[in-house]
Amino acid sequence: MLYDVETSVNVADKHLKTRKVLHVVAGMDPKTGGVCQAIRTIIGGLSELGIESEVASADAPNAAYIADYTFPIHTLGPAGGSWQYSAHLLPWLIDNMGRYDVVIVHGLWLYHSYAARKAMQQLKRSQSASHTLPKLLIMPHGMLDPWFQEAKGRKIKALRNWLYWKVIEDKVVNEADGMLFTCEEELLLARKPFRPYHPSQEINVGYGIASSPTYTSAMTTAFLEKCPELENAPYWLFLSRIDVKKGVDLLVKAYANVWTESQKTGRQIPKLVIAGPGQDTAYGKSIHQLVAETPGLTDAVIFPGMLTGNAKWGAFYNCQAFILPSHQENFGIAVVEALACGKPVLISNQVNIWREIESAGGGLVAPNSVAGTQQLLQQWVDLPTDAKQTMERQARYAFEQHFYIKPAATRMAKAIGA
């Protein structure tokens, strides 16, 4: 059954029953990607609607980043192995899941989703008929995208996923009370890679973020402390994990082509900032090597590492445009953060929210290839100044129309409280 939750619902008028939500996740380390940031944003939006949230994770209790979160996190790790197994998680869920109105499992393929299903089975066996069980919902955050099964170099992982689906994950998905998706594209793509796939409900709740903080000069100062060579210099910004899925190699190759051509014509192009964690991985080192192999490019491409706080917002506010040529992107929080700052986004058509952005005129879209990424960069270079300024205004418009947290939180609240 498919539901598309409307944004016009007045939550207060609906007298939602749901007032306490447990979010179950493998980990809340911000270096692992967008899921933990999505949880942070969702909890903030629900809180404004009077809905309390807590998190159960397999993080180590002494993990330094836990202190940065303002909501309760039950740290039940440390997790071990590639499955992120934690011996404490399942017993805790069995003892405590009944205290919540709704349990949302964020992400798939790891122990936490299996544990949530097992705990629900135990609750159903042990609770009296008069006791109301919590609603169990799954939010896959793009982890059912066909790309993971079809991409080159992932044949072994694809086989592993198929076997895991047959043994475990199909039951997690199909026995839950529903699936929550961040956009229509994600919902449709999730139907393709696995069988049997027949969730009780498919709910397009959408997703959003809080508006960007108001610009201050401290943001520029903090960013320039990381990248002093960029003072008074234009640049394009990539800000995400340095990972093969993000298409960073496509970006560097495309940029090298545009940069080489600019040397022939004498036309100046912006420098390129590649910011984010993962530079010490094998893939990250290969990106550095790729830059080093192009003479002169080392002065044009800057690697400041992971940017946070004022430095991150300074990077957004001072860039000409944000670029993400990803092979698979369920939502793209950094894309939306750039839009919130009024910055046009140059993205691949594998970023699931590309249609909303393109229709709003907030950026440029091309295929996820070297040629496609080069097209994005060259199109931006060739745009007249007034067209770039118009796109900046439309970028902010795209954010307000499609990706602001308040309407997204209202949709989420209606979905989980119905």
Same domain, 99 and 79: yes
Whether 105 and 135 have beta carbons less than 8 Å apart is answered as: no
Is residue 76 pLDDT above 90, yes or no?
yes
Number of domains in the chain: 2
417: confidence class by pLDDT, cuts 50, 70, 90: confident
Domain end, chosen from 206, 228, 255, is at 206
| Burial group, residue 47, by CB count within 10 angstroms (0-12, 13-18, 19+) | middle
Pair 153, 264 in one domain: no
Specify if 417 maps to a domain. no
Instruction: Looking at the structure, tell me whether residues 262 and 358 fall in a common domain.
Output: yes
Same domain, 182 and 291: no
Lowest mean pLDDT among 67-76, 187-196, 258-267, 281-290: 258-267
Average pLDDT over residues 366-389: 97
Yes or no: say if 201 and 178 are a contact pair by the CB < 8 Å rule: yes
Final residue of a structural domain among 186, 206, 226? 206
- Considering the domain architecture, whether residues 183 and 274 belong to the same structural domain is answered as no
- Of 356, 276, 352, the closest CA to residue 312 belongs to 276
Pair 170, 223 in one domain: no
Same domain, 362 and 305: yes
Task: Indicate the average pLDDT of the chain.
Answer: 91
Residue 396 belongs to some domain of the structure: yes
Cis omega before residue 78 (within 30°)?
yes
pLDDT value at residue 13: 38
Residue where a domain terminates, one of 145, 177, 206: 206
Residue 190 sits in the same domain as residue 305: no
Query: What range does the domain containing 118 cover?
Result: 2-206
Q: In terms of domains, do 148 and 293 share one?
A: no
Give the tens place of pLDDT for each residue, 113-123.
999 999 999 99
In the prediction, which pLDDT does 210 show?
Answer: 84
Q: Are residues 224 and 373 in the same domain?
A: yes
Token pair of 194, please?
A: 């696995």
* pLDDT at residue 8 is higher than 70: no
Residue 166 maps to a domain: yes
pLDDT, tens digit (0-9, with 9 covering 90-100), for 177-228: 999 998 888 999 999 999 999 999 999 988 888 889 999 999 999 999 999 9
Cα-based distances in Å from 62 to 66, 74, 75: 8, 12, 9
Average pLDDT of the segment spanning 42-51:
92
Q: Are residues 158 and 299 both part of a single domain?
A: no
Neighbours of 149 (CB within 10 A): 18
> Can you give the CATH number for the domain in which 399 is found?
3.40.50.2000
Q: Decide if 415 is inside a domain.
A: no
Report residue 4's pLDDT band, with 50, 70 and 90 as the boundaries: very low
pLDDT above 80 for 358: yes
379 part of a folded domain = yes
Q: Could you tell me which residues come within 8 angstroms of residue 370 by beta carbon, excluding any fewer than 6 positions away? A: 250, 253, 254, 257
> What token pair was written down for 188?
């449709």
Of 5-19, 311-325, 397-411, highest mean pLDDT: 311-325
Angle subtended at Cα 366 by Cα 365 and Cα 369, rounded to the nearest 5 degrees: 145
Q: Could you tell me the two tokens for 304?
A: 């400041």
Residues 176 and 254 both lie in one domain = no
Which ranges constitute the DSSP H helices of 77-230? 89-96, 111-126, 147-150, 155-164, 170-175, 184-189, 217-226
Neighbours of 79 (CB within 10 A): 22
